[in-house]
Amino acid sequence: MRVLGIEGTAWAASAAIFEYDPDDPAPLDANPPVIETDAYQPESGGIHPREAAEHMGEAIPAVIESVLDATDGPVDAVAFSRGPGLGPCLRIVGTAARALAGTLDVPLVGVNHMVAHLEIGRYGAGFDSPVCLNASGANAHLLGYHDGRYRVLGETMDTGVGNAIDKFTRHVGWSHPGGPKVEDAAKEGEYVDLPYVVKGMDFSFSGLMSAAKDAYDAGTPVEDVCFALQETIFAMLTEVSERALSLTGADELVLGGGVGQNARLREMLATMCADRGAQFYAPDPRYLRDNAGMIAVLGAKMLAAGETLAIDESAVDPNFRPDEVAVTWRAGEASVSFAPEETAERQGAEAVVTVGSDRVIKRRLPKAYRHPALDARLRRERTVAEARLTSDARRAGVPTPVVRDVDVAEATLTFDTVGKRDLAAALTPERARTVGEHLARLHRAGIVHGDPTVRNVRVGDRVSLVDFGLGYHSGHVEDHAMDCHVFGGSVRGTVAEADADATLSAFEAGYAAVGDDDVLGRLREIEGRGRYA
Ligand SMILES: C[C@@H](O)[C@H](NC(=O)OP(=O)(O)OC[C@H]1O[C@@H](n2cnc3c(N)ncnc32)[C@H](O)[C@@H]1O)C(=O)O
Ligand SMILES: Nc1ncnc2c1ncn2[C@@H]1O[C@H](COP(=O)(O)OP(=O)(O)OP(=O)(O)O)[C@@H](O)[C@H]1O
Ligand SMILES: [Fe+2]
């Protein structure tokens, strides 16, 4: 089958033709799509939605004509980016796709742009069930296939990663897009400290971006700010990717999105994966930045699975989230998530943990992917925080292991062993309810766990919390709700949808019995927040 793909969510007016044999799919390298792209370049500032849409109106027909001219044979379907993206651009693309499908009298396929960023990498890598890091302009998230959908394992709490970088470059007066300019300037830069914010597998850029602008305004050389921005932002993305690998037990990572063109980001991810024995794949830059090749490739797989769209149901969706898509083209395939084996020596996301019958030794070994100054800072801060908060939590009435020894210089902690297994391997609604009570009790004492996943709860005679390394003191409803959100995410990534609902209802009932009502209200708000700004 031959599929024509059309992309136009923001800056790239692009068309592609992809030839696909579902019974005998050729590797991507051996059978690349033919792609033609006409980029919109704003005269000043960032992307103006109206100007970008005007560009789409002119450029889309031309790129379509050009790929049709460059290839022979009939087209079997028209696939287009339905979202997420800028409304005015999406509408132009949607109209063009409908018109073309009508003229050619072929079916229409509506593609989620973020799932396309993921699938092109999975196809190129030949991986079965990887974790995917999408690092693009308007988005930043981790996806893993589980039970018929791509689950969002972690994501930005504010802006997309490219947009964050582009905001900084606008501040210093550089033209759009800023990413490549930051990469260039960073080559001459030296490290300075910037805020580093990771919450479970979620992360945020807003504090970091204000600090970067302030540092520049205060006279820090722009190369140094660019260097530090890359080191900090990409270390955050690499850390959450490692957390996702650790939580799911997956050993394959693929990269997607325009920021993935950055060599430093790719280097950090490759180093992290090599160090934990995982495979890493980053597609060629032409498949990372927005392009219609990825739309045609996923369009072909969707067409083969019968996923066509009736014209009257083909409206575009600027907020189209990747977890809304029914992934029918992977029906019956292996899920990314399973409970990894519990061995005596565990490589968590952060530390090597030796679990003995009485004692547990946790060593935060240096991470080769991180800048040494940032690495030393994080290992020290987290070791100190973990020792203090593990004890504070116990005083607040929440079961945690007794801390036997703290060696800050070596970033090593010794605890009593608690529980018989991780909650991940023994998740029941009753135990989830207990976790809800424990978290509420912690929050009432002004303590945030920071990473309450099903792997950081131990079950045995009782239910204990471990791994307070990302914890801190806070009485803010938002921080407490984020803890609940992190737990919810880890449950949804681990068990089937129906079980997740029952488990999380029990968790919330437990929380409500002990904690503050506002927190669960705020949790709803966090979950409903559209992150596409
Ligand atoms: C929804 C859709 O419209 C959107 N697309 C998008 O953001 O374009 P994409 O091509 O995936 O990414 C563009 C971003 O990628 C950044 N970028 C490009 N080259 C870069 C580099 N060498 N280093 C860092 N960032 C880079 C740009 O600064 C810009 O922010 C998305 O995927 O979120
Ligand atoms: N005190 C303890 N008693 C029993 N088991 C423990 C204890 N502390 C940790 N573990 C086990 O070791 C695993 C890894 O520990 P921990 O979560 O502290 O390390 P980590 O590197 O921070 O992991 P991650 O960041 O992936 O959650 C836990 O999932 C748990 O199975
Ligand atoms: Fe994109």
For residue 532, the model assigns a pLDDT of 31
Alpha carbon nearest to ligand 2 atom 20, residue: 348
451 is catalytic: yes
Neighbours of 299 (CB within 10 A): 32
Quote the DSSP letter at residue 307. -
CATH topology for the 127-282 domain: Nucleotidyltransferase; domain 5 (3.30.420)
pLDDT band at 340 (very low <50, low <70, confident <90, very high): low
CA of 257 to the centre of ligand 3 (A): 5
Question: What is the per-residue pLDDT for 325?
Answer: 96
Q: Express each pLDDT in 6-35 by its tens digit.
A: 999 999 999 999 999 999 999 999 999 999
Q: How much is the pLDDT for 168?
A: 98
Among 259, 267, 286, 321, the mutation site with the greatest number of ligand 1 atoms within 8 A of its Cβ is 259
Model confidence pLDDT, tens digit, residues 238-254: 999 999 998 888 999 99
**pLDDT value of position 493:** 77
* Residue 533: predicted pLDDT: 28
- CB 262 less than 6 A from any atom of ligand 1: yes
Question: Is the pLDDT assigned to residue 530 strictly greater than 80?
Answer: no
CA angle (106, 110, 112) in 5-degree steps: 155
CATH topology of domain 421-528: Transferase(Phosphotransferase); domain 1 (1.10.510)
Compute the Cα dihedral for 181, 182, 184, 188 and give only its sign.
positive
142 DSSP β-pair partners: 133, 154
Q: Please, what's the largest Cα pairwise distance for the chain? A: 74
Show the ligand 2 pocket: residues with CB < 6 angstroms.
Answer: 243, 246, 342, 346, 348-351, 353, 355, 360, 362, 401, 415, 417-419, 422, 455-456, 458, 466-467, 469
Residues in the chain: 533
Which residue in this structure is represented by tokens 């030796």? 354
Q: Which residues contact 443 (CB under 8 A, 6 or more apart)?
A: 480, 483, 515, 516, 519
Distance 367 CA to ligand 3 centre (A): 29
Domain 127-282 in the same topology as domain 2-124+287-330: yes
Sequence ranges of the domains in the chain: 2-124+287-330, 127-282, 421-528
Query: What pLDDT, on a 0 to 100 scale, did the predictor assign at position 337?
Result: 65
E strand or H helix at 124:
helix 113-125
How far is ligand 1, taken at its centre, from the CA of residue 287, in Å?
12
Please, how many CA atoms are within 13 Å of residue 290, restricted to the half-sphere of its CB?
Answer: 28
Per the CB < 8 A criterion, the answer to whether 367 and 375 are in contact is: yes
pTM score of the predicted model: 0.95
What the block records as the tokens of 405 is 């020894």
Residue 140 has, within 13 A of its CA and on its CB side, a CA count of: 27
Residue ranges at the known binding site for Fe cation? 113, 117, 290
Interval 101-110: pLDDT, tens: 999 999 999 9
CATH superfamily assigned to domain 2-124+287-330: ATPase, nucleotide binding domain (3.30.420.40)
Catalytic option among 38, 375, 422, 451:
451
